[in-house]
Structure 1
Amino acid sequence: MTEQLTKEDVTRLLSDPSPTTRADLAAKLGRQFDGDLTEGERRLAEEIIRHMARDAVVRVRQSLAENLKANPNLPRDVALTLAKDVEAVAIPILSVSQVLNDDDLLEVVRTGTDAKHTAIAQRPTVGAKVADALIERGSEGAVAALVANEGAQIGEKGLSRVIDRFGASQAVQEPLARRSRLPVTVAERLVAVVSEKLQQYLVAHHDLSPQVAADAILQSRERATVTLFSGESDEGALERLVAQLSRNNRLTPSLIVRALCMGDIGFFETALAHLAGVPLTNARLLIHDAGRLGLKSVYDRAKLPPALLPACRIAIDVLKETPYDGEEHDRERHRRRMIERILTQYEDLAADDLEYLLAKLGDMMR
Structure 2
Amino acid sequence: MMKTGETAATGKLRALVVAPGRGCYNKEELGYLARYHSDKLAFIEAIDAYRRDLGQKPVAELDAQGKYSFKLHTPGENASALIYACAMADFMDIDRERFDIVAVTGNSMGWYIALALAGALDERGAIEVINTMGSMMSDGLIGGQMIYPEMDDNWRRDKTKTALLDRVIAEVNEQAGCELYTSIHLGGYRVLAGNEAGLTQAEVLLPRLEERYPMRLYNHGAFHSPLLMDIARRGEQALPESLFHRPRLPMVDGRGHVWNPFSTDLARLHSYTLDHQVVAPYDFSQAMAVAVKEFAPDCVIVLGPGNTLGGPVAQTLIANQWFGWQSKQDFSEAQKLAPKLIAMGNPAQRPIATGE
Category of TM-score, reference length = shorter chain: under 0.3
Which is higher, the Rg of structure 1 or of structure 2?
1
Structure with more of its chain in helix, by fraction:
1
TM-score between the two structures when normalised by the length of structure 2: 0.25
Question: Which has the bigger relative contact order, CA under 8 A and spacing at least 6?
Answer: 2
TM-score between the two structures when normalised by the length of structure 1: 0.25
Structure with more of its chain in strand, by fraction:
2
